[in-house]
């Protein structure tokens, strides 16, 4: 069934989720995510259970059930000096870590070293940690889409979504990005994100990342779209975390924050007849009043 019609909207509606990844990564990331939800047009976020600042964001999620959030399943850590690893004891999931006990920096290293058994144990533990804290996630997605690093890992991702009755982010674009064949792994009944919008380094390097986001809002197509951003502040904390990593670095994340709290961009939602929807809407099969972010616009 057409998702727009299922939600009680016109069949050719421009459906949009504006989603903030990496909540829990740092205090800076958390503060910017909270502000983007409360003062901007972000209407979805996902929490990294494995990170040091998880507790702050999880506490916010419990206090603010009006905001839609998911679990950002994590198997990789891309930063040079800021490190984290599994929540399970390393002795239980030894294939997931490098010689220093941290997650691998790249999906390729994860694919080469990790066993499917360890991946499933760790991801299940991350979900249980969130649920045991009293969180009520609307969906699950994946940091760096590392669940697509191998067909076995993606099968686990799908299995866990079914186990916990949570939608999972599935996208042909993201599959191709990580080298997973969509033809072999997309089912006929899957809920697909038709278009994933995410900034690329060329836009950042040329100083046009903010323009890109504005153009996305002006040229959105019908169907289910998602804009993936990583709001944080360009402060000393994020500069330290993202050192030697300008791609999705501190300056980039500041642009993400500013672009989606910008009143001019926020006005484009109504101007372009965009319907903000949430993962909760998708999960429940109906539009939930007051849960789509439109109250801030």
- For residue 284, the model assigns a pLDDT of 86
* Ranges of the chain whose pLDDT falls below 50: 290-292
What are the tens digits of pLDDT across the range 196-245? 999 999 999 999 999 999 999 999 999 999 999 999 999 999 999 999 99
- For residue 291, the model assigns a pLDDT of 47
Give me the half-sphere count of Cα atoms (radius 13 Å) on the Cβ side of residue 182: 13
Q: The whole model's pTM is what?
A: 0.95
Provide the residue ranges of all domains of the chain, joining segments of one domain with +: 3-296
- Considering the domain 3-296 in this protein, what is its CATH number? 3.20.20.370
- For residue 2, the model assigns a pLDDT of 83
């Amino acid at each position: 069934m057409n998702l727009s019609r299922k939600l009680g909207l016109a069949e050719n509606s421009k459906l949009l989720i504006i989603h903030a990844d990496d909540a829990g990564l740092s205090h800076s990331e958390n503060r910017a995510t909270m502000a983007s939800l409360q003062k901007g047009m972000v209407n979805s976020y996902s929490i990294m259970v494995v990170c040091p600042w998880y507790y702050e964001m999880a506490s916010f999620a419990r206090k603010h059930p009006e905001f839609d959030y998911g679990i950002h399943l994590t198997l990789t850590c891309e930063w040079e000096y800021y490190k984290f690893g599994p929540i399970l004891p390393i002795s239980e999931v030894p294939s997931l870590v490098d010689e220093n006990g941290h997650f691998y920096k790249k999906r390729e290293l994860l694919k080469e070293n990790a066993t499917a058994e360890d991946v499933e144990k760790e991801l299940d533990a991350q979900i249980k940690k969130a649920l045991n804290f009293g969180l009520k996630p609307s969906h699950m997605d994946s940091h760096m889409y590392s669940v697509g690093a191998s067909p076995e890992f993606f099968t686990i991702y799908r299995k866990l979504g079914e186990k916990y009755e949570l939608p999972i982010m599935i996208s042909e674009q993201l599959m191709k990005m990580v080298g997973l064949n969509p033809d072999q792994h997309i089912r006929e009944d899957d809920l697909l994100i038709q278009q994933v919008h995410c900034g690329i380094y060329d836009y950042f390097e040329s100083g046009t990342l903010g323009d890109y986001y504005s153009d996305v809002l002006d040229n959105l197509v019908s169907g289910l779209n998602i804009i993936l951003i990583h709001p944080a502040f360009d402060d000393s904390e994020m500069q330290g975390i993202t050192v030697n990593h300008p791609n999705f670095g501190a300056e980039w994340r500041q642009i993400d924050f500013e672009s989606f709290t910008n009143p001019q961009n926020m006005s484009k939602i109504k101007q372009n007849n965009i319907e903000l929807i949430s993962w909760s809407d998708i999960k429940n099969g109906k539009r939930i009043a007051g849960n789509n972010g439109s109250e801030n616009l």
